[in-house]
């Protein structure tokens, strides 16, 4: 228990160091890229540590979020061209493997095998290149969200669809560095409409199921995850979870 706590404290110190270094930078594209590269190193180490007390909770949280996205997409991607923005993380790799499509193009500011280096604020693809765009837990990180929405509309075909997720601002600490902005449930829908999208489906996950569950798990209360799973089964499909959940999930159509 003590050793695991020491490892977690060391990771938190590393996150703080990265944030402090970024605050001292000029905030150019290369500064953002360098920050995300540093975070990726810490994240890789985090997911390699299967013995940490909150590993199972983290794994379930990501799995549950992916389940919600798959349900919302249904068969929308079959035979279609799909663009996944900000898709360089391991959890995005696992999620996208569950999607059946004609083609899935993955992009991120930090390139890796199978992932193209692209700035979501200025994509290199021609107009109308994709039928579906997937943008999960990314819009809260970019300096210019309006530019991202504009680029998504541009590369989508007429009546194309956007699946987008972001943390609920009521459950997120907006630090101004890694999480630049936050959206409340209503402001997120307004933002999508303002940028030329019509929301078709909205979903949410359980309240407190990220930070709250992590804190409980780190305290060694092992039955917490089992209780969260039970509550999730009882509330699954409850549309009003969108307004109280930890994350906001929206499937919208380009207009």
Helix (H, G, I), strand (E, B) or coil at 194: helix
Cβ-based neighbour number of residue 186 at 10 Å: 9
Residues 115-129: what's their mean pLDDT?
96
Cα(242)–Cα(225) distance, integer angstroms: 21
78-93: per-residue pLDDT in tens?
999 999 999 987 789 8
For tokens 């996208």, name the residue.
96
pLDDT bin (cut points 50, 70, 90) of residue 171 is confident
Per the CB < 8 A criterion, the answer to whether 133 and 152 are in contact is yes
User: How high is the pLDDT of residue 5?
Assistant: 56
pLDDT > 60? residue 1: no
Residues 88-117: what's their mean pLDDT?
92
pLDDT, averaged across the chain: 90
| Domain extent listing, the chain | 1-51, 53-254
User: How high is the pLDDT of residue 121?
Assistant: 95
Cα(1)–Cα(12) distance, integer angstroms: 17
Q: Of 76, 37, 9, 60, whose CA–CA distance to 253 is shortest?
A: 76
User: How high is the pLDDT of residue 81?
Assistant: 98
User: How high is the pLDDT of residue 10?
Assistant: 74
Cα(154)–Cα(156) distance, integer angstroms: 6
Cβ-based neighbour number of residue 5 at 10 Å: 12
User: How high is the pLDDT of residue 7?
Assistant: 66
Phi-psi region for residue 27, left (φ > 0), alpha (ψ -120 to 50) or beta?
Answer: left
E strand or H helix at 205 = none
For tokens 């909770």, name the residue.
57
User: How high is the pLDDT of residue 110?
Assistant: 87
CATH class of 53-254: alpha beta
């Amino acid at each position: 228990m003590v050793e695991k706590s020491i490892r977690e404290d060391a990771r938190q110190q590393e996150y703080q160091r990265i944030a402090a270094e970024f605050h001292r930078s000029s905030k150019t594209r290369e500064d953002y890229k360098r920050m995300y590269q540093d975070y990726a190193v810490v994240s890789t180490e985090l997911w390699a540590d299967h013995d940490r007390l909150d590993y199972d909770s983290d794994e379930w949280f990501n799995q549950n979020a992916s389940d919600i996205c798959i349900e919302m997409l249904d068969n929308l991607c079959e035979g279609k061209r799909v663009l996944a923005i900000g898709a360089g993380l391991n959890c995005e790799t696992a999620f996208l493997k569950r999607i059946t499509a004609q083609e899935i193009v993955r992009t991120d500011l930090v390139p890796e095998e199978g992932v193209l280096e692209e700035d979501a604020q200025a994509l290199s693809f021609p107009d109308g290149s994709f039928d579906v765009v997937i943008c999960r837990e990314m819009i809260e990180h970019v300096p210019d969200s309006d530019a991202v929405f504009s680029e998504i509309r541009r590369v989508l075909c007429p009546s194309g669809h956007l699946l987008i997720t972001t943390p609920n601002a009521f459950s997120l600490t907006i630090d101004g560095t890694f999480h630049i902005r936050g959206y409340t449930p209503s402001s997120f829908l307004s933002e999508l409409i303002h940028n030329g999208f019509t929301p078709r489906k909205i979903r949410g996950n359980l309240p407190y199921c990220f930070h709250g569950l992590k804190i409980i798990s780190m305290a060694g209360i092992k039955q917490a995850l089992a209780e969260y799973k039970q509550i999730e089964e009882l509330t699954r499909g409850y549309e009003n979870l969108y307004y109280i959940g930890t994350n906001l999930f929206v499937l919208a159509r380009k207009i």
